[in-house]
Amino acid sequence: MDVGRLVARAARLYPEREAVVCGPVRRTLREVDARANRVANGLAALGLRRGDRVALLLKNCAEYMELDFGLAKGGFVRVALNARLAAGDHRVTLEDADVRAVVHSGDFADGAEVLRGEFPAIRHWIRVGGGDGYEHWLAAQQAAAPSVANAPDDLHSLFYTSGTTGKPKGVMHTHRVIARVATNLLLDGFTIDRQDRVLLLQPLSHGSGFFMLPAFMRGACSVILDRFDPAEVVGTCARERITFVKLIPTMLIKLLEGTRAVARDLGAVRAIMYGASPMPVEKLREAMDRFGPVFVQIYGQAEAPVTITVLPPEDHRPQGTADEVRRLASAGRPFLSVDVQVLDGNGEAVAPGEPGEVVVRSGHVMAGYWRRPELTLEVLRDGAVHTRDMATVDERGYIYLLGRRDEMIISGGFNIAPREVEEVLHRHAAVSEAAVIGVPDSTWGEAVHACVALRPGATASEAELLEFCKAALGFRRPKAITFLPDLPKNPYGKVLRQELRKLLGARVVPGAGS
């Protein structure tokens, strides 16, 4: 369905419900819909045509919602730039996407001016904040809905991957993809109504952005923070009567560590959804002990966004049977409208417990990579996305992620999944974060090397952690441990294993496996 029509329909159903809150700004669904119409009409008045790419370089703000919806209403293609990335990353994206206009925060005025000089073909640079120019421009546009009808397979957005393994790729999301993600969420996991108030903590250019539309469709309110701070999260939950929180595991861990002196209760919060990277089971247990049985896990990737599998609250059972407790380490089971298989190298379904690649077939998979047909053919085959994520599946259909295909460690001819080792390290009381990589080993080919960040004020030695892992992991245990203040992450909170390899210098560990 046309995303613009979904927005207009919600505004008709719940016109006076609060739609968005960010700082002092509060707007109703009717106001957001009208402002989105003005955005669409204003861009058309500048000479932009349907299908033109428009980049958003904004910190989290209330205007993000109207711009997102306005681009969809006008048939323009959104290119979201992460405000936390460097200028060099923006240059690559602006050039690759052949962007025609840029909307940027006042915070990025200086950087935008530099980019403007480098991209003379981008004729329109619209500044939000740092003055009232945007509001004057918006007020001068028509508030009536634009006469644009988008087909389901029309391009809605280019979602650029984080680029941790090479040049960022533009993943093509159609209106069908965005609408299906919204309905998938509302059917499974994100079960909200117009009384709910949803706290969005990630950059709207990435994971949190997918939650604005389904919340709007239900007449619920999106409460947006411009940065993550544990104390501010707790205060906002109380002040805004938050009922649903969307975050990533890194944030949840920081929330646990940063709010020990704060009351256990998060007020009216009835659900906390986490995703984007695996949640260590021991930290999840601690979170459930602190905040109660309120957790929902989702798994997705850019090529099949947000809604591949879900682990609902009823599957978070730390005191259940052995099988139920084991499921805390899983990514859950497929969303209702999503087909997920774990396949071996011959394209055959693996037996329960055997590793294979996660393959997804659904109406929400990407249309392909922007202007990269060869790469598209590698990943998108017969309508199914081959995710490059390795996993096992159990008899009940629960998916257990092991890591990316190129992250598997091969030591002495055996495959070692990084997550298996990391889960054990996270059981140690002193460990805050852990990530493992394979380093060259003169005896075994590769050896497991762990990088660990300790909790504030905690201590642990390398010998202590190596001994701690020995009984649970056997030959899969780390052969060495490097302690770091924090693990390097990309702007979306995912650990950068390549940076860890650089840090370690991919050094050979002579005889480390002996």
The residue extents of the domains of the chain are: 408-504
Question: Which amino acid is present at 366?
Answer: M
**Among candidates 494, 290, 267, which has minimal Cα distance to 401?**
494
Dihedral sign from CA coordinates of 312, 276, 233, 455: positive
Mean pLDDT of the chain: 91
pLDDT tier at 260 (50, 70, 90 boundaries)? Answer: low
Indicate if the pLDDT at residue 168 is higher than 50.
yes
CATH topology of domain 408-504: GMP Synthetase; Chain A, domain 3 (3.30.300)
pLDDT at 219 over 60: yes
Q: Is the pLDDT of residue 412 over 80?
A: no
Rounded CA-CA distance 147/474 in Å is: 65
Q: What confidence tens digit (pLDDT) does each residue in 347-403 have? A: 999 999 999 999 999 999 999 999 999 999 999 999 999 999 999 999 999 999 988
What per-residue string of b and e applies to 49-62 under the rule 16 or more CB within 10 Å gives b? eeebbbbbbbbbbb
Whether residue 440 is predicted with pLDDT greater than 90 in this model: the reply is no
Portion of the chain with pLDDT greater than 70, in percent: 96
41-81 pLDDT, tens digit each: 999 999 999 999 999 999 999 999 999 999 999 999 999 99
Tokens for 135? 């509001």
Which distant-in-sequence residues (6+ apart) come within 8 Å of 236 by Cβ? Answer: 199, 223, 225, 242
Residue 506 has a pLDDT of: 44
